[in-house]
Amino acid sequence: MTLSRQIVVRAGIAALGALALAACSNDSTSPLNVTPDQLQSVGTTIATEIESGAMGLTAQGVTSTTGGAPSMSRIPTNSGLMFGGLAMNRVPSAIARSTTDAACGVASQNPPVDTDGDQVPDNFTITFALPACHFSDASGTIDMTGALRISDPQPGTPGMSLSFGLDNFTLAFTGTSGSGKVMRDGSATISATQTGLSESSNWTESAQITGYPSISAALNWTGTFVAAQGQSIVAGQPLPDGAFSPSGTVNYREGNRTASFSVATITPLQYSASCAAGVENGTSLTPFTGGTIQVSVSSQQGAGTVNVTYSNCDAATVSLVQ
183 Cβ contact list (under 8 Å, min separation 6): 70, 146, 168, 169, 170, 171, 205, 206, 207
246 bridge partner residues: 223
Domain count, the chain: 1
Q: What is the pLDDT of residue 29?
A: 57
**Cα separation, 204 vs 22, whole angstroms:** 17
Could you tell me if 22 and 215 are in contact, meaning their C-beta atoms sit under 8 angstroms apart? yes
171, part of any domain = no
Range(s) of the domain holding residue 243: 14-100+181-320
In a domain, 5, yes or no: no
Q: What is the pLDDT of residues 236-295, one digit of tens each?
A: 888 999 999 999 998 888 777 788 889 999 999 999 999 999 988 888 889 999 999 999
Q: Give the three-class secondary structure for 14.
A: helix
* Whole-number pLDDT of residue 109: 93
Distance CA 66, CA 59 (A): 10
pLDDT at 45: 79
Nearest alpha-carbon partner for 263 in 224, 293, 303: 293
159 neighbors 147 (Cβ within 8 angstroms): no
State the pairing for strand pair 82-83/86-87.
Answer: antiparallel
Ranges in the chain, pLDDT < 50: 1-20, 23-26, 72-101
Is the torsion defined by CA of 19, 270, 184, 296 positive or negative?
positive
pTM assigned to the model: 0.81
Residue 157 placed within a domain: no
Q: What pLDDT shows up at residue 74?
A: 41
**Domain contains 107:** no
Q: What is the pLDDT of residue 21?
A: 54
Nearest residue to 49 (alpha-carbon basis) of 106, 101, 94, 8: 8
Classify residue 27: in a domain, yes or no: yes
What's phi and psi for 239, nearest 5 deg?
A: -65, 145
What is the pLDDT at residue 89? 41
The per-residue pLDDT for 300 is 63
Rounded Cα distance between 290 and 309, Å, is 7
d(CA 70, CA 37): 24
C-alpha torsion angle, residues 105, 110, 116, 121 (rounded to 10): -10
Residue 301 pLDDT: 66
Task: Indicate whether 234 belongs to any domain.
Answer: yes
What pLDDT does 88 receive? 40
149 is a domain residue = no
pLDDT of residue 322: 62
Contacts of 64 by beta carbon, 8 Å cutoff, 6+ apart: 3, 4, 6, 9, 55, 280
CA angle 226–194–203, rounded 5-degree value: 60
- Please check whether residue 109 lies inside any domain of the structure: no
